[in-house]
Amino acid sequence: MLNREGIKTLKNWYYKKLRKPLLIRGARQVGKTTLIKMFTKMENLDLIEINCEKPWSFSPLLKNLDPVRVIEAIEFEMNITIDPGKSLIFFDEVQNMPSVLKILRYFYEEVPEYKIVTTGSLLEFVLDEPEFSVPVGRLELMYLGPFSFEEFLLAAGEKSAFSFLQNYKIGAQIAESYHRKLSSILRTYISVGGMPEVVNAYINGHSMIELERIKNSIIDTFKLDFHKYKKNTNPKLLSIIFDSLPIQIGKKIKYSNIDRTYKSNEIGKSLYQLYLARIITKVYNTSCNGVPLAAERKENFFKCFLLDIGLIHTQLKLNPFETSETTEINYINKGALSEQLIAQQLIFQHQDFQEPELYYWAREKKAASAEVDFVIADSKRRIIPIEVKSGSTGSMRSLQIMITEKSLDHAVRFNSEPPTIFHEKRETQLGEAQYNLYSLPHYLSGQIVRLVNELD
């Protein structure tokens, strides 16, 4: 059984006194349904599973917004008795029965003893419609993505490696044997990815050819879903964008680089639909003059990262055996795969009730342009720039420019080398200033929020 961090969230939600209905959001096939089934099995709960893709006799009653009547109708139709003390009512694929969303607030207000959880792979399309919305204040949210590197370690039985990462402190040395092992497992994670079905196949000893078959099947499923998104969608254009994005990783999105035969507004609309499906994440440029970073984000100035690095590895037709043997993470497309790795770790490195977001910084001036791959803010409201290098070396010019312009004290670089701390100096209008550059191996990227929060 593949354990996940989300189990802890479900357990805390289920057993707390003040509990609201839970809505789990995430892309198709990231394991939402499996997570719920795993949780109920572990806790020995009765799972009342209602697949909203099927026709149910009780569904017309949802419009009356009477939760007691709905519970009675479900019990009658399924020939069961629902004990609120040891049951979980699960509405799956709720985008096919959006009236469930409207009645959730009444479950909370009138019969809070019932534990209700809902999921939907294309739910964001329903929520984007003006007639439907999340009942604010009456619902709890949880966001689920693919397996992180840490979750992958646990699934692979690498408990000591997982514990090592969880307990690592900046400034501590890493033995060469540990560094080689963690780097090797990370390269495997890059080729396998974090989609639960693929991870499960890998753990059970399936061949790389079988893993590629599964990943290709997932990619094909995404494309087939393009026909379901909306009546006014363009499945052909969605497929064109989806196929082109792996070679756009790490670059500012320019619609002309995707396809010159479609208008900009058509491409922009389709990109938004892929975002709604959680297949892509938009990483926006922000001016970084203060926190929150979202306050200065530039809506038309963004990069796109895809859902899962393993799927991108397959889309790029890379050889998994070559990836597992190389000493550098990636030499394709100037390190784009390493940027996807760090972005994926950063995007889902947050409280899972918060919507994932990530930003970067760029200055576009003739002969003086600069760009830093990512920026995050720590718990002390400090802005931390992050540079990603695919190998062991690379220019730091843009990072130094940002540090000087924004008067920052800390910066992070990810590369393939063991950790090092550099105490750097910079010249500013006020004189000489100092900053610390934390150079860390890629496999520590899943710990970076914790690590920077621990900095003095």
Q: 368 in a domain, yes or no?
A: yes
**Bridge partners, residue 385, by sequence:** 375
Domain that includes residue 225, residue range:
150-453
pTM for the full model?
0.92
Q: What's the pLDDT at 238?
A: 94
Summarize pLDDT for 416-448 with one digit per residue, the tens: 999 999 998 877 665 677 899 999 999 999 999
Instruction: Residue 46: give its domain's CATH number.
Output: 3.40.50.300
How does pLDDT run across 35-70, given as a tens digit for each residue? Answer: 999 999 999 999 999 999 999 999 999 999 999 999
Position 390 confidence tier, pLDDT thresholds 50, 70, 90 = low
pLDDT, average across residues 77-84: 96
Query: Given 121, 143, 165, which residue is the final one in a domain?
Result: 143
| pLDDT value at 192 more than 90 | yes
Question: Is residue 330's pLDDT more than 60?
Answer: no
The mean pLDDT of 289-294, rounded to a whole number, is: 95
| 224 and 289 share one domain | yes
- Please check whether residues 130 and 155 belong to one and the same domain: no
Question: What is the structure's pLDDT at 333?
Answer: 47
Last residue of a domain, one of 89, 110, 143: 143
Residue 328: per-residue pLDDT: 63
Predicted confidence at residue 427, as pLDDT, reads 73
pLDDT confidence bin for 1, thresholds 50/70/90? low
The residue out of 111, 143, 175 marking a domain boundary is: 143
Same domain, 402 and 326: yes
125 and 170 share one domain: no
Q: Does residue 57 sit in the same domain as residue 123?
A: yes
Segment 102-141, tens digit of pLDDT: 899 999 999 999 999 999 877 777 777 766 666 777 889 9
User: 275 and 362: one domain?
Assistant: yes
In a domain, 1, yes or no: no
The pLDDT of 263-292, averaged and rounded, is: 94
Q: What percent of the chain has pLDDT over 70?
A: 93
What is the reported pLDDT for 282? 96
Specify the length of the chain in residues.
456
Per-residue pLDDT reduced to its tens digit, 134-143: 677 788 999 9
Read off the pLDDT of each residue in 263-285 and give the average, rounded to a whole number.
94
Domain count, the chain: 2
Q: So what's the pLDDT on residue 158? A: 96
pLDDT digits over 197-230, tens only?
999 999 999 999 999 999 999 999 999 988 876 6
Residues 231 and 276 in one domain: yes
Fill in the amino acid letter for 424.
E
Cis before 84? omega within 30: no
